[in-house]
Amino acid sequence: MAYAGITGWGKCLPHGVLTNADLASFLDTSDDWIVSRTGIGSRRIADCLLADMAEVAAARALACAGLEAADLDLIVFGTTTHDDQCPNMASGLQARLGAGPCAALDLNTACTSFLYGLSAATALIRTGVVRNALVVGAERISPYMDWDDRNVSVLFGDGAAAVILQATEQEEGVLLEKLGCYGDAREILRIHGIGGAYVHSGRLAGVTEWQFEGQEIFKKAVTGMGLACEDVLSRAGIQTQDIDLVVPHQANLRIIEAVAKRAGIEMDRVFVNVHRYGNMSAATVPVALCEALEAGRIKPHATLLMPAFGGGLTFCAHLVRWGSRTTPIETSDKELASPERSALDIVLDYRRARERGVS
């Protein structure tokens, strides 16, 4: 039986750091208020395109795996915040990397986009359609944020990460997954102002209004991720004590703690970096995966549990067996250009643009 092992990984975080104190300079909030409710202390703000971050993350993942871009058979780009919708982001990344005529597709299931993309690429490898795949989770949320809405502007940040999957006979990579969606609850998390529906209704496209019902989202998130974790563990015939590390979607600390408690897994076996980056949507799980490896939290042949939820309301959990290698074969020197503005200046520019009614 063919498996799809994870052989490369790479992340790219914007240089600009937006602290809670920065937010308090124009919002009625404070560091104590934000940390006590979310566990978030700062987030990154990009002064570049989404494609720039994805290119750096992908180049680092390829080097880590010891592959060239021309070796790729497939690129899956998971995101909600495209630079372009047509043509898609994956085709642009293919061109930037020099990956030749490999397959290239975008996938949008909001915050679960990376893990849904991991499932899609794994399935294509298992069926023999492709052998080497690049899966990206990347978001540039800051231009779409309503920075005067305290309920959401404290939560989100920008970032990107990527992994390489390769066909192998070893039992590694995604072993089992549970994918699901509470479509009847999709209205509790909606960004008005993106998409053709808003032009049709007379709204100004690009000037967003966030519909975000926090308490209901919390309940659905914990339930969905909890049920998905139970499903994969049950089908795998393993217990929670067999899980070496949980690498969850980093929505906020309360949700992470609630999911771990429901699963019966101690927080010392849960990787958390939400305090540094906030919720990067599709980028949270792959960035956390990269940092868990950097920190030595993932050992050879470790068993990982990776749950997530996102707008839609999509949810999932993936049971992953790591391979024998936890360090890069090579490294890439590709970097983002130095930003021309601070994170706070970028955000203030977005606020001024909204006041003028410009997307």
The domain spanning residue 92 has which CATH number? 3.40.47.10
Q: Do 164 and 25 sit in the same domain of this protein?
A: yes
The residue annotated as part of the active site, out of 64, 111, 229, 290, is 111
111 is known as an active-site residue = yes
Q: Looking at the domain assignment, is residue 310 inside a domain? A: yes
The residue annotated as part of the active site, out of 102, 132, 249, 290, is 249
pLDDT of res. 238: 95
| Domain that includes residue 344, residue range | 3-173+335-355
Q: Do 138 and 186 sit in the same domain of this protein?
A: no
SS (H, E, C) 127-140: CCCCCEEEEEEEEC
The residue annotated as part of the active site, out of 88, 108, 252, 279, is 279
Q: What is the pLDDT of residues 141-188, one digit of tens each?
A: 999 999 999 999 999 999 999 999 999 999 999 999 999 999 999 999
Domain count, the chain: 2
pLDDT of res. 203: 58
- Asked if residue 115 lies in contact with residue 318, where contact means CB atoms within 8 angstroms, the answer is yes
- Asked if residue 322 lies in contact with residue 311, where contact means CB atoms within 8 angstroms, the answer is no
Q: Is residue 109 predicted with pLDDT exceeding 70? A: yes
249 is known as an active-site residue = yes
> For residue 37, what are its two tokens?
């409710």
Q: Do 128 and 243 sit in the same domain of this protein?
A: no
Higher pLDDT, 113 or 197: 113
Q: Do 53 and 153 sit in the same domain of this protein?
A: yes
Round to the nearest angstrom and report the end-to-end CA distance of the chain. Answer: 50
Q: Do 7 and 146 sit in the same domain of this protein?
A: yes
pLDDT of res. 359: 45
Q: Looking at the domain assignment, is residue 329 inside a domain? A: no
Dihedral angle sign, alpha carbons of residues 101, 107, 112, 118: negative
Total count of residues recorded for the chain: 359
Phi/psi at 171 (nearest 5 deg)?
Answer: -80, 90
Q: Looking at the domain assignment, is residue 326 inside a domain? A: no
Q: Looking at the domain assignment, is residue 146 inside a domain? A: yes
Q: Looking at the domain assignment, is residue 330 inside a domain? A: no
Q: Is residue 245 predicted with pLDDT exceeding 70? A: yes
- Asked if residue 278 lies in contact with residue 251, where contact means CB atoms within 8 angstroms, the answer is no
- Averaged pLDDT for residues 345-351: 96
Q: Do 180 and 168 sit in the same domain of this protein?
A: no
318 is known as an active-site residue = no
Q: Do 185 and 267 sit in the same domain of this protein?
A: yes
pLDDT, mean over the chain: 95
pLDDT of res. 302: 98
Q: Do 68 and 91 sit in the same domain of this protein?
A: yes
Q: What is the pLDDT of residues 307-342, one digit of tens each?
A: 999 999 999 999 999 999 999 999 999 999 999 899
Q: What is the pLDDT of residues 43-82, one digit of tens each?
A: 999 999 999 999 999 999 999 999 999 999 999 999 999 9
Q: Do 300 and 344 sit in the same domain of this protein?
A: no
Q: Do 311 and 350 sit in the same domain of this protein?
A: no
Q: Looking at the domain assignment, is residue 328 inside a domain? A: no
Q: Do 128 and 60 sit in the same domain of this protein?
A: yes
Confidence of residue 202 (pLDDT cuts 50, 70, 90): low
pLDDT of res. 166: 98
SS (H, E, C) 320-355: EECCCCCCCCCCCCCCCCCCCCCHHHHHHHHHHHHH
Confidence of residue 209 (pLDDT cuts 50, 70, 90): confident
Phi-psi region of 348 (alpha: psi -120 to 50; beta: other; left: phi over 0): alpha
Give pTM, 2 decimals. 0.96
